[in-house]
Structure 1
Amino acid sequence: MPVSATKAPRVAVLADSDTRWKWGALTAQRIAAENHGASSEDPAATTSDVRLDGYLLRGRATPTARQLTEVGVRADSLREVTAVEFLRAMGEDPADGEPYDVVVLALVGGGVQALLHGLARAWEGRTRRPVVVTGYVGVVYEKLADGLLLRHGADLVLANSRQDADRFRAVYEGVGADASAVTEVALPFLGGTPYSGEHAPYTVVFAAQPSVPDNRRDRTYLLDRLIAHARLHPNREVLLKLRSRPGEHTTHLEEVPYQKLAQATGLPPNFRLVYGHMGEVLDRTDLLVTVSSTAALEALHRRIPTAVLTDLGVREVLGNHHFTGSGCLASWDQLDAGHRPAPGEEWLTRQGVAADGSYATAFDTARARIARLLEQPGGPPPLAPYYTRATAPGYLPGILARHHLAPDGTPLPGAPAADREPGAVRQLVRRAARGAYRHGVQRVAPVIRRMGEL
């Protein structure tokens, strides 16, 4: 980024889960470095060229140390904060005198909207401010209008594909909002060695999702079919790729972890549960199977054969409707019989998979837009979200209040904003509260639902 010819760009990333931290940190590296490997297939190549300060929003899905390590993105600093603490940090002059060039909000939509209003208030009267960037972690298959309007007001709203960019602009223009912030890029974590042929042993990987499907019956069905595939093909290695260990949360709640279902099932010797970095698992994958995981796009980028399951139907609630027209839809019966889906090239192009080699330039437009905003006289204009007290008086105050902000974006009286790191007692209380919440979600809530069905 042409902020200075000598200093490294400085970026702050605020994330509320492990997957959003991965997206936010890698996006920061992609868009903030210019001519220093930012377009490399290896996103880690840009690490040394960007000063990255990470902030983890305190909540139910705050990443654990293991999850952060698995993501594989290193920050120059990393701390846990509330929304008010983050706003305080953004409103103060940095101790080292080096202001941020870019702030990436890697949050759920309501969090983005609250922080946009909070930052607008915190930066009132400033002659210059950072460029604010937000977007989506993966496939956008639900709550399109709601999620987009909650992200409106950022300087850049990143779209991971040409199709998403067209949809995003249509929503903004349809409500009379400025659509100029919509910027087409690609998923920042694509990369890796292209698929060059079968491994020994041939490896089938099922990429599990925390909330799709969301019930025990369907998840048991998928696990049983995966195990049956392993028994049918004893010479293949069959891997169940899991996102988190029991007790950990990701972006979505997981009430029925596959690990617990597998404990009650006899597993064949060629079947394993695996964790770790998705890219490393894809290095040895010959067939990627999923319901609708973003891992499908990672695999398609590498030209790895990819199957999106139709066994539970092709439905919006599952997200696999996004893959209609892709050539990847298939059932377990077809896969058991040896079918290997072949994706359509036109579909791949519109979905930002960049399997044609165009990934090297996917972030050029975003970098150029950020440079223009920073270089223009007076810096970027004031943040101006579509939702205000005039356009959404019955909706916006509640969104802000959830993050302890008043309707004008200022902290509410009594809002948590510690001046120092939490003490030992406070940390213990926090851990106990998270543990109780997770126990309620994973153990108590399913029991109550089953009782209600009797």
Structure 2
Amino acid sequence: MPASTPKPPRIAVLADSDTRWKWGALTAGRIAPGGAPVLDGFLLRGRATPTPRQLAEVGVHADSLREVTATAFLRAMTEEEYDVVVLALVGGGVQALLHGLGRAWEGRSRRPVVVTGYVGVVYEKLADGLLLRHGADLVLANSRQDAERFRAVYEGVGADASAVTEVALPFLGGAPYTGPPGPGAEEGGRPFTVVFAAQPSVPAGRRERTYLLDRLVRHARLHPEREVLLKLRSRPGEHTTHLEELPYQKLVRRADPPPNLRLIHGHMGEVLDRTDLLVTVSSTAALEALHRRIPTAVLTDLGVRETLGNHHFTGSGCLTSWDRLDAGHRPEPEEDWVVRQGVAAGEGSYDTAFDGARTRIAGLLARPGGLPPLTPYYTLATAPGYLPGILARHHLGPDGLPLPGAPAADREPGPVREIVRRAARGAYRHGVQRVAPAIRRMGEL
């Protein structure tokens, strides 16, 4: 009698922005034990809920995808059976869902493996973000360096550090860089291409963002033979992981850019296919470029500061300035640093980066008697002045149960409700991108 075909693992991914959906969905595919999973996507309703265009740009297929509130997601987790749940959320969201899931699964003999982690470079709020993620079965670290830092934080407060699992960023890949185009490119060739990877909140101020844009324009004018691309994260009216009060789309109107400078959107991997020099302040795109051996410049023009995130690249060999780039400098990365960041191509290291996570998940799923209850570090005993506020933001009480009147509708909104929601999001974006900067300017008078 032929052996039965094993069922593919079923994974639920809850994400609160386009970048976290990309990370969560791609991570699910790489950590699934036993082959390609059945992937159910859940988008947490909020200010950064991805638009259809943003989802299409990510390019990740899900077997189902719906928008939910936190309480609706908790209900779905009690009504449907999953092997793994990936929480691709900001730290406070992870903590709230860990407590909510703990109550929702109370008394069950078996529950899914819960996984969480970070979208990219962890350059701020290390202790805060990590402790908010504590309690998941796996806390993924994107590099050896991150794994060491994560364990040190947990052990330093007396929390169990065994959940920390070293992997890599799930979206690395693409063809290795083969060098710039020759001076006599044949018909159909391309010019030397410089890409500036913009970030929504780094830097945040008008003066610094205008400075970066002016230097990009200047570089394009100094090198008319080059194609200079400003890679944007979102279109006007969209939000991503971080707020963007001063979109470059607005600032560029006053910059009078030359014809060889263009603003572009699209999948970063496709943009890197034609990139000869990647320039950024601290974007995760730098790690994608380094993985492909594309020359990568991390700017020091605004200083090397924790608030900018470029301090993460000290020792990388990539820190440089616009003046040097204008003069033709192309940074050379330090190989040891690249290896410690988990972005080293070659030697098959990236191909095996997720083996440990898959093996660990398979072991947890096969554990006799099922998994123990979720036990986050933050409880009403360890953080009574902090935890209730985090839970309340997601309409959960101190006991992890939904508060009375908590929004739980996970059905498709009617036409009137949809109009109201769009108007509310539009008003929020207007407040962030127009009213707030104006108030700050008035305060500086």
- TM-score scaled by length of structure 2: 0.96
Query: What amino acid is aligned across from residue 166 of structure 1 in structure 2?
Result: E
1:405 maps to 396
Matched, 1:372 2:341: no
Counterpart-to-counterpart distance in 1, 2:406 and 2:234: 31
> Residues 139-196 of structure 1, C-alpha deviation per residue, up to 9 Å, x if partnerless?
0000000000000000000000000000000000001000000000000000000001
Pairing 1:73-112 to 2, within 5 Å after superposition? 73-92=60-79, 94=80, 99-112=81-94
Whether the 8 Å contact between 1:31 and 1:366 is mirrored in structure 2 is: yes
Cα shift at 1:5: 4.8
Matched, 1:134 2:125: no
1:264 maps to 254
> Residues 293-350 of structure 1, C-alpha deviation per residue, up to 9 Å, x if partnerless?
0000000000000000000000000000000000000000000001000000100011
Counterpart-to-counterpart distance in 2, 1:90 and 1:261: 44
From the superposition, tell whether residues 5 and 323 of structure 1 become closer, same or farther in structure 2 (CA, over 3 Å). Answer: farther
Pairing 1:222-241 to 2, within 5 Å after superposition? 222-241=212-231
Counterpart-to-counterpart distance in 2, 1:144 and 1:225: 32
Cα shift at 1:33: 4.7
Query: What amino acid is aligned across from residue 276 of structure 2 in structure 1?
Result: D
Whether the 8 Å contact between 2:68 and 2:410 is mirrored in structure 1 is: no
The partner residue of 1:68 within 32, 55, 75 is 55
The partner residue of 2:352 within 336, 344, 361 is 361
Cα shift at 1:6: 2.0
Cα shift at 1:265: 2.0
Question: Alignment RMSD, CA only?
Answer: 1.0
What SS does the corresponding residue of 1:29 show, helix, strand or coil?
helix
1:25 maps to 25
Whether the 8 Å contact between 2:69 and 2:410 is mirrored in structure 1 is: no
Query: What amino acid is aligned across from residue 115 of structure 2 in structure 1?
Result: V
Matched, 1:288 2:278: yes
From the superposition, tell whether residues 193 and 419 of structure 1 become closer, same or farther in structure 2 (CA, over 3 Å). Answer: closer
Where does the alignment leave 5 or more consecutive residues of structure 2 unmatched? 182-189
Counterpart-to-counterpart distance in 1, 2:44 and 2:59: 19
Cα shift at 1:119: 0.2
Query: What amino acid is aligned across from residue 314 of structure 2 in structure 1?
Result: T
What SS does the corresponding residue of 1:361 show, helix, strand or coil?
coil
The partner residue of 1:221 within 203, 211, 228 is 211
Aligned residues: 433
1:182 maps to 164
What SS does the corresponding residue of 2:48 show, helix, strand or coil?
coil
What SS does the corresponding residue of 2:351 show, helix, strand or coil?
helix
Whether the 8 Å contact between 1:128 and 1:378 is mirrored in structure 2 is: yes
Between 414-423 and 114-123, the greater mean CA deviation after superposition: 414-423
Counterpart-to-counterpart distance in 2, 1:235 and 1:380: 61
Whether the 8 Å contact between 2:48 and 2:241 is mirrored in structure 1 is: yes
Query: What amino acid is aligned across from residue 326 of structure 1 in structure 2?
Result: S
Whether the 8 Å contact between 2:213 and 2:252 is mirrored in structure 1 is: yes
Query: What amino acid is aligned across from residue 171 of structure 2 in structure 1?
Result: F
What SS does the corresponding residue of 1:195 show, helix, strand or coil?
coil
Whether the 8 Å contact between 2:139 and 2:165 is mirrored in structure 1 is: yes
1:9 maps to 9
The partner residue of 1:254 within 237, 244, 255 is 244
Cα shift at 1:266: 1.2
Counterpart-to-counterpart distance in 2, 1:420 and 1:318: 40
Cα shift at 1:362: 0.3
Where does the alignment leave 5 or more consecutive residues of structure 1 unmatched? 37-48
Whether the 8 Å contact between 1:348 and 1:355 is mirrored in structure 2 is: no
Query: What amino acid is aligned across from residue 351 of structure 2 in structure 1?
Result: A
Cα shift at 1:197: 1.2
- TM-score scaled by length of structure 1: 0.94
Cα shift at 1:74: 1.2
Whether the 8 Å contact between 1:315 and 1:321 is mirrored in structure 2 is: yes
Counterpart-to-counterpart distance in 2, 1:175 and 1:440: 39
Matched, 1:146 2:136: no
Counterpart-to-counterpart distance in 1, 2:5 and 2:358: 15
Whether the 8 Å contact between 1:255 and 1:443 is mirrored in structure 2 is: yes
Counterpart-to-counterpart distance in 2, 1:279 and 1:378: 43
Counterpart-to-counterpart distance in 1, 2:177 and 2:412: 46
Between 271-280 and 346-355, the greater mean CA deviation after superposition: 346-355
The partner residue of 1:211 within 196, 201, 205 is 201
1:121 maps to 103
Cα shift at 1:268: 0.8
Counterpart-to-counterpart distance in 1, 2:200 and 2:120: 14
Query: What amino acid is aligned across from residue 388 of structure 1 in structure 2?
Result: T
> Residues 375-406 of structure 1, C-alpha deviation per residue, up to 9 Å, x if partnerless?
01022221100001111111111100110001
Matched, 1:438 2:429: yes
1:449 maps to 440
Counterpart-to-counterpart distance in 2, 1:256 and 1:423: 33
The partner residue of 1:317 within 307, 328, 331 is 307
Counterpart-to-counterpart distance in 1, 2:413 and 2:105: 27
Pairing 1:381-420 to 2, within 5 Å after superposition? 381-418=372-409, 420=411
Cα shift at 1:410: 0.4
Runs of 4 or more, structure 1, over 3 Å off, are none
Cα shift at 1:367: 0.4
Cα shift at 1:421: 2.2
Percent identical? 84
Query: What amino acid is aligned across from residue 90 of structure 2 in structure 1?
Result: V
1:39 maps to none
